[in-house]
Amino acid sequence: MAQYTPPIRDMQFVLHEVLKVEDAFKSMPAHAELDVDTINAVLEEGGKFAAGVLFPLNRSGDEEGCTLDPETHEVKTPEGFADAYRQFVDGGWAALSCDPDYGGQGLPVTLNQAFYEMLNSANQAWTMYPGLTHGAYDALHAHGTAEQKATYLPKLTSGEWTGTMCLTEPHAGTDLGLLRTKAEPRGDGSYAITGEKIFISSGEHDMAENIIHLVLARLPDAPAGSRGISLFVVPKFNVNGDGSLGARNGIYCGAIEHKMGIHGNSTCQMVLNNAVGTLVGEPHKGLAAMFVMMNAARLGVGMQSLGLTEVAYQNAVAYAKDRVQSRALSGAKAKDKAADPIIVHPDVRKMLLTARAYAEGGRALAMQVALLIDQAQNAPDEAARRDAEAAVALLTPIVKAFLTDNGWLATSHCMQVFGGHGFIREWGMEQYVRDNRINMIYEGTNTIQSLDLLGRKVLGDQGAQLKKFGAQIQQFAMANMSDARMQEFLAPLADLGEKVTKLTGEIGMKAMANPEEVGSAAVDYLRVVGHLVFAYLWARMARVALDKAEGGDPFYAAKLVTARFYFAKLLPETASLIRTARAGVAPLMAMEEDWF
């Protein structure tokens, strides 16, 4: 049977010993009073909810799935999901990092992200319901009118209402400029919205009394393409002036998508038939407002794969210690048994350490980006806020794509550790693989993230933000270069930094002659930069562990072993990626279309 223990100790290590979040929060008036004990208490209680309430529903939710009543268009979620959501709301978890002006607790995003990692490990399909609600909250908080904020934010904050993002249409996919959903003025400041949306996670369910849809549509005078898209808030039930629920709105679930994974989440085909909505932000500028939610979702998807990587790793380790098969090549290790536990075999250890290194590196990256978000929102200095916001923009596609690629590799490795049993449902491993696969696709495929990183975030500003990140690495290296123990981490980090600088310049020059060179190199490039970020964070973690391992705590000894594994076995992947990125577009485009 599957198991899950929240990785509280490692979270505390990243937050308190590596990132030193308490010191960072002291510089932010909104969080200046937050101390280590409060942070740890929230983590402990959040872990109890994730492991005790959500995790037991993961397998049953996958097996039962969601069901649609075609007559009423109502969706029933798996048994126990709605009750777990009530406990989530009653516990105040929905409001953890929300604005106190709307009933939130006002705690840092960093703490909320740590909580959501545990929720995703416990039950990704369930976690998507409140996760998307947070995104809707963020978009309305940033771009909603005063009336929209007063109407929707308190209920989204409390969790009494949930939210969705309705972007994709059957013919459009990621290319939102092709969408056809129409919004006609009704003469009273509202709009009648008609169209179809697909792949709408949490689009209809029985967990909350109202669902607030953020919908992209076109006004009658909209220009073609993405410059003609507007954003509307469309509730499942219209809201009366006094805040009570009114009549059922003209938006409903026409069908549930039959998916490879995340069966416990209702992925819906949504139909809008003169649904009443109100404009969010300015006409024809809906993408700018929706990007607030989209970027939050991209970070959230990275957290989903991080959560699955952690829980898959935990289960694979437990199995590898228990399962006996074959003898170690160097001779029997468990002489009292008919065979050795498979954890003695080098390749099993390689698979386990790959998952562990990607989980712990991913946790450090996720927490670093969350802290940057807190700084972007709360730093008293405007320049510091701008710098943090720019760093978040650079790192967001890496969180989304690198962590989900790593999650796919890690969950597949962990299933492999189980051998044939991993392919059998009762062990739970195949679900982690299935659930994780969507994370590389939605909220912008990982190719889209790679194009965003290379095309917009790096070449788009002539590498300015990437150079700032490189300066951080150089500053860290200079501060630690006198410690001989750090050379095994600093030397490959510096080497990769130089190679990234050179590769970036080469691609930029080639792209000036042929823009297709960006598309050819982007996926490899993102993975190389992802490894640069991980190598920097692993070097920082090794710095802390080196100073504390002498005390005999096995936690720090294990951290150093994992760091050395990462640098020895995973970072060298960058050599082949750089080579394939340099190969250019010619090998891809030489094939005539009718030769395929």
Q: Which amino acids are annotated catalytic? A: 443
Task: Find, among 311, 427, 315, 293, the residue nearest to 359 by Cα.
Answer: 311
CA distance 384 to 514: 37
Burial of residue 479 (number of CB atoms within 10 Å: 0-12, 13-18, 19+) = exposed
Pair type for strands 210-217 and 161-166: parallel
Burial of residue 359 (number of CB atoms within 10 Å: 0-12, 13-18, 19+) = buried
Give me the helices (H) in 418-486, please. 429-437, 446-451, 464-480
Structure tokens at 336: 């009292």
Cα-based angle 76, 82, 88 (whole degrees, multiple of 5): 155
CA distance 177 to 194: 17
Categorise residue 373: left if φ over 0, alpha if ψ from -120 to 50, beta otherwise: alpha
DSSP label at residue 223: P
Task: Find, among 435, 410, 429, the residue nearest to 267 by Cα.
Answer: 435
CA distance 579 to 566: 20
The helix/strand/coil state of 405 is helix
* Element spanning 73, H or E: none
Distance of CA 192 to the CA centre of its chain: 33
Task: Find, among 35, 79, 38, the residue nearest to 58 by Cα.
Answer: 79
CA distance 92 to 364: 26
Task: Find, among 442, 438, 406, 424, the residue nearest to 310 by Cα.
Answer: 406
| Torsion sign across C-alpha atoms 94, 100, 106, 109 | positive
Count of alpha carbons within 13 Å of 9, Cβ hemisphere only?
A: 7
CB 507 within 8 A of CB 517: yes
CA distance 264 to 82: 11
Neighbours of 119 (CB within 10 A): 27
Distance of CA 208 to the CA centre of its chain: 24
DSSP label at residue 162: E
Phi, psi angle pair for 68, to nearest 5°: -105, 135
